[in-house]
Structure formats: structure tokens, C-alpha cells
Structure 1
Amino acid sequence: MNRKFWLTLALASFMVVTAACGANSGKTNNENKGNTAGSGNTAEKTYTIAVSQIVEHPSLDATYDGFVAALKDAGIEEGKNLEIDFNNAQGDSANIKTISQKIANSKSDLALGIATPTAQALADDVKDMPVLFAAVTDPIDAGIVTQLEAPGGNITGASDTNPAAITETMDFIATQIPNVKNVGLIINEGEQNAVIMGDIAEKALEKHGIKLIKASVANSSDVKQAADSLVGRVDALYITLDNMVVTGADAIIEVANENDIPFFSADRDTVEKGAFAAVGFKYYDHGYEVGQMAVEILKNGKNPGEMNVTVPQKLDFIFNMKAAAEQGISVTDEMKALVKDQENNIIE
């Protein structure tokens, strides 16, 4: 794990930053950039934004939705003064590269990479326009930026990981779930972000004398088999912000429910689907923050290299009470007391 990233991350947790970006489909032409929508001095500038998203799943889709909402709230709205070229790489590395090269050759005003691999490709290929990233675990270790504060160049964005969230989840498992000796991690070890988060989880569990047992997958269709392979060997299941695995979360929920195994995730959306708990935040808010960064760049001329990379600030426990019942978990008052916003984060 990149020590510089996590040290910088701890400092970044105390900084307040605004920033912005957007994504969708249907870019037509870029000839009207800066042109007027009428005559005289009443012209309105139009914008084009190109988006590369690694795959569609709830957390990444919510990131995109929040991004677009922030633009709209600032008066940059698709169908009026905004064109968005949305590209879904469908988890394919060849598609990721093709999309980044296409964006590099476009006349877009700004590019957005949602998830680590797509952001890495944009950082490598796009040099002549501002680039933002979202849903990236460790942008330093991934080679996207060299530092979180004023990273320089033409790129900045938001990390979706605060190490405290992982540690708090592991501490909860160790102290609140009875008799846990082994925790199963379903992981795509080809995703750098998943490996980094898995290492943090493993170290946190070691402090409690608990072992992390990994079940690797090569694609989302392997997730069910990996989850099945852990039955009888582990006392709880966990997944990171692992795009391939999150896409197959329904299969893990099925295994967890059938075998009464508490299932923990690293994102709210998977808890809403049927995992029991996470320490997390709303990806919509994460995307909205990046959308605000885009507004600063597009409307106010901010240089992305001078804008700090942000990290999640509003962490909270999130419980799914129906999932708890399905997975044989008795949710105690002590557990509930850990939830700061019980109205929104205890899901009945």
C-alpha cells in the first residue's frame, strides 16, 4: 500500500474542497463550444463532457447521477447547454483504452473517469483538456496523481476510500458478531483498488486474531462459486469497492441468506440491495462533489491541478434490518447506537 497516499489522506480529511463534473450520452458536435444561443450579448456558452465508466452497477451509476445533478444545479444542463458523451467500458480493458483514446481526440471541454482503470487510462491519454476522476480508491498508488493536495497537471478528482471505513467495519465484525474466527473476502485481484482495501481489512482483522480468507474471481460470473466455496470455512463475508464483485453482489446475498452468514460490504448501495452492513457514504453525494469540481473548472476557469483531491467525510454505519433477519443476526441496541443518522441509515 502506498504510505504516502494514506498519510496525505489523513490530512485531506480535514480540508473542505469544492469541485465538479458530468456524464451521459448523445454528444453530437463540438462546433458550438463558446457560441451563442441567440444574437447580441445574450449568448450562452455550451459545454461538452466525455465520460468513461468501467461498468454499470448501483454505486457507479449513483456517482454519475450525482455528478450530472451538480452540473444541473449550477445551470449546466443536458439538452440546454450541455452535451455528454457517456461511454460504458463493460469491464473490458480493451474498451477502456479505446474509449480514452477516443476522448483524447475529441473536442470535449472536460473528461470524467468513473473507477480506477478508466481514470488511469484518461490520465495516460488525455493531455489537452481537464480530467476529473471519481470512485478511485488510491489515486496515488494508481499513478493518476502524485499527491492529493494541488496534484498539478490537468487532473484531479475524488477518492472514494477513507481507510477508517474499512477499519471500523472490521472492528465491528470482531466485537459485535459472536465467535468470528475467519472472514471471507471475495475479490478480483486484478483490481488494484480491491487489493489495497483487502490489505487494510486483513491488517485490521489481524489485530483481533481473526484471519481473512480470500476467494478470487476472474469475472462476475465466478462470484457465486466463490461465495459457495467459503461456506463452512468463514463466519462472515466481506467485499470491497471491487467493481467486478459488486456487479455480482446478488449472488453473495443469496449465499449469505441461505447459510446465515453475515455479509458486510464497503458501499451503501450493496447494503440497500441486501448486505447487512457497511461503513460508508452515498455515492450520489460523492459524484455530486466531483460535479461541483467540474462547475469550478467550466464556469470559473479553475485549473484542476490546483484543486485538492477529496476523500469521503460523512462516514456512518448503515444497517439493513431485513438482511440481518435473513442472515441470522440479532441487531442489538449497542449496534444501533453506532449509527449516527438512524433515520436514514437503519434501513427497515
Structure 2
Amino acid sequence: MISGKYVLMFRFDTRQWAVGLISVLALLASMSVAQAQQPKVVAVMAIVDHPALNAIRQGVEDELKALGWENGKNFRLHYQSAQGNTATAGQIARKFSGDKVDVIVAIATPTAQAAAAVTKTIPVVFSAVTDPIAAKLVKDWKPSGTNVTGVSDRLPLAAQVDLLLKVKPGAKRVGYVYSPGEANSTSMLKELKAELSKRGMNVVEAAAPRTVDIPHAAKSLVGKVDVIYTTTDNNVVSAYESMVRVAVEAKIPLVAADVDSVKRGAVAALGMNNHEMGRQAGKIVDRILRGTPPGAIAPETSQGVSLVVNPRAAERQGLKLSDALMKEAAQIVN
């Protein structure tokens, strides 16, 4: 038989335990609410600052704002450029991974590779990656099941060669300045060789491992080519004015895959709208922030291409654009 004294003590301890449990549950609930109220963090990294990549970054920011994400309120956006240095890109990627950001937006292949190498858990959304399969970011164009997805700027190559021939009818030798360390550029070189060979044309390649090598590589093509074609190679695009100077001096037309390069002196470009590509990537970021796993989102290609021409640049590079080509253009830059 239990005395009244001990029964009273048992009841007292039970009440204390219940009060303690309620306090713990309340604390956990408040912590969950606080975590839920923490603003999301989106970290954007680019291999270098140049007009095309800057337009993509702006597109990402504009789309997120349009979808209700206000920087400084319900999310925070951080940006860093590697200034053309792949080692720096790795450092930035490691910092963002260590900060445990919610999404990393990696603009251009080297930064996407750096981000994918340092984390297998934080979502990585790439943009301005021509061949994400060759870059080993994804296995194919299906949902990856990993932490990586994004938007490719891959272009129909046959249409690019058509443009070369519209700018320079009868061209046989196509100059190609590229960075051998950039997967996009080496992959495109192989495809360009195959496409040109179908038409009895050939590539004259000039490797430029660093930005400072671009002028020398371009000059090495003088007297050897009928036209120079530039892709979205970031080394080349970041030093585009040096390419233009060689084209003007040697009277060799310069045709680009990047429409923003036309404002900088290319004769013509059939390419993606970089700002819209950024907005497309922004839509993917929004889906991830709202709970969709990145591995459930298939990589996309940028939607739509437009022809931009620069007749004044054409004259400086020794030719006149045909009336037919001028009529095809969605935009004429002077």
C-alpha cells in the first residue's frame, strides 16, 4: 500500500515533467517558425564580367523579382565573379557551399563545373553552358536525379554555317579562336569541323588559353581564312574588342554566336537573347526555392534565336551585307 505522501510526490513530479515537455515542444516550434522565416539565399557566380554574362545575371534577378522574390526581404542574392580565373571560381564555389546557400546559379561552364565539384547537396542551376553533357554536369537531357540542372545556350550549328555563307558567300576557310580549356569550345570545334566538311569547308583553329592570348591567336589567322567565327567562349568574348581590331585591320568579317558581341563590332550573330536566357534560369531557381528538387527538373535549352547585324562593322571589315540578310535581321545595330 502506497502512503498519501508518496502519491502526492508522484503527482507533483508528473506535473513538472508535463510542464517541461510542453516547454521543449514550444521551443522546437518557435525554432521551426524562425527557420521558416529565414530568407532564402541565392548565390550567383560567373566566370568573368562581360556584357553577355551580365545580361544573363540581370535576367535571373529580374525573373525572381517578377515571381515575388524581393532581395533583402524574402531572399538574399549574392554575386561574385571569378574574373576569368578558374582557380578563383573554385574558391568562390567552396565559399558558397560552406555558407550553405539555398541555390547556386553558375553562369558559364567553368563556374558550373566548379560548383558541381564542391557540393552534391546544394542545388546548382547552370546557364550559358553550351554542352552540359560534355562538361559532365549531367548525363543527358533528362532529369538528372542529382543536384544539377539548368539552361544551355546550345545553338543549331547548321544555321550558324548558313549565316557565315550569307555574310561571306563562297567562304571556304573559317577561322576559329577558342580556349582549349573550356569544354564548350572544344566540343563546338568538333561539331563545327563535321558541319563544315559536309559543305566542302574547313576550320582553321587558333588556340588561346588565356585572355591575353586572344590578339595573337586572331592575328595568326590573317591570310589563312575567309571569315572568323566566334562562339560563346568566355575568354574570347571578354576580349572581343581585340578580335574586332584584327578583323578591321585585315578586312576579315567577324561573325558571332553571341548577339551582344554585335554591338561590340561583330558583323552579325544568330544567337540567344542572353537576358531571356537568364529569366529562363530564374524560373528554375524559383521552382527549387518553392520545393521542387533540382534532380526532378530536366535541363533546358534557351528558347528562340534572333539575327542581329551591324552594317557599319561590315563596312569596316571590308564587305557590304546583302539586302536579303538585312531584311532577315530582327535587330540592326549601327
Task: Answer whether TM exceeds 0.5 for this pair.
Answer: yes
2:194 maps to 1:208:
no
The TM-score normalised by the length of structure 1 is 0.82
2:119 maps to 1:133:
no
- Residue among 326, 331, 343 paired with 2:321: 331
> How does 1:1-348 map onto structure 2 within 5 Å?
35=34, 46-162=39-155, 164=156, 166-298=157-289, 300-339=290-329, 341=330, 345-348=331-334
2:18 corresponds to? none
Q: Secondary structure at the match of 2:220?
A: helix
Deviations 1:5-39 (A, max 9, x none): xxxxxxxxxxxxxxxxxxxxxxxxxxx99749xxx
Distance in 1 separating the partners of 2:62 and 2:101: 19
C-alpha spacing 1:258/1:109, structure 2 compared with 1 (3 Å) = same
The TM-score normalised by the length of structure 2 is 0.85
Could you tell me which runs of 5 or more consecutive residues in structure 2 were left unpaired when the two chains were aligned: 1-30
Distance in 1 separating the partners of 2:112 and 2:332: 33
Distance in 2 separating the partners of 1:143 and 1:205: 26
Larger CA deviation: 181-190 vs 77-86: 77-86
Letter in 1 for 2:324: E
Shift of 1:45: 5.4
- Residue 174 of structure 1 contacts residue 208 of structure 1 at CA under 8 Å; is this kept in 2? no
Deviations 1:191-219 (A, max 9, x none): 11011112222222212212210111121
- Determine which structure has more spread, i.e. the larger CA radius of gyration: 2
- Residue 33 of structure 1 contacts residue 45 of structure 1 at CA under 8 Å; is this kept in 2? no
Distance in 2 separating the partners of 1:234 and 1:192: 24
Distance in 2 separating the partners of 1:133 and 1:275: 26
Deviations 1:281-330 (A, max 9, x none): 211110111011111111x3111111121102211222112211211222
- Residue 163 of structure 2 contacts residue 270 of structure 2 at CA under 8 Å; is this kept in 1? no
1:12 corresponds to? none
Identity %: 36
Could you tell me which runs of 5 or more consecutive residues in structure 1 were left unpaired when the two chains were aligned: 1-31, 37-42
RMSD, matched Cα? 2.0
Distance in 1 separating the partners of 2:145 and 2:74: 29
Distance in 1 separating the partners of 2:103 and 2:166: 46
Task: Work out the number of aligned pairs and report it.
Answer: 304
- Residue 176 of structure 2 contacts residue 205 of structure 2 at CA under 8 Å; is this kept in 1? yes
Distance in 2 separating the partners of 1:76 and 1:44: 14
- Residue 33 of structure 1 contacts residue 46 of structure 1 at CA under 8 Å; is this kept in 2? no
- Residue 142 of structure 1 contacts residue 192 of structure 1 at CA under 8 Å; is this kept in 2? yes
